[in-house]
Amino acid sequence: MNMQPVSSSNISSIGYENGILYIRFHAGGLYSYSGVPESVYNSLMSASSHGGYLAAHIKGVYPYTKIG
């Protein structure tokens, strides 16, 4: 799985594989969100604010685990 660096004040990089979204934050921590459709990942990657999209459409919607 490839992590793509993004331009964000909060998010360092984003990855996606087999329905699992991976988010690495600048402050530390790698989180996996399960059951995320590829369309949601694509929308996140094309959003003008990755952090804003994450907060509005992913957090609280998909279960997550801190993995690093």
CA–chain centroid gap for 61, Å, is 12
- Name the average pLDDT for the chain: 97
The whole-angstrom separation of Cα 22 and Cα 18 is 11
- Contacts for 3-8 with beta carbons within 8 Å, 24 or more apart? 4/45, 6/45, 6/50, 7/50, 8/49, 8/50, 8/51
Domain boundaries, the chain: 4-66
Residue-wise pLDDT tens digits, 32-48: 999 999 999 999 999 99
pLDDT for the residue 61: 98
The answer, yes or no, to whether residue 60 has pLDDT greater than 90, is yes
Q: Is 10 helix (H, G, I), strand (E, B) or coil?
A: coil
Closest CA to 39 of 52, 58, 60, 11: 58
Residue 13 has pLDDT above 90, yes or no: yes
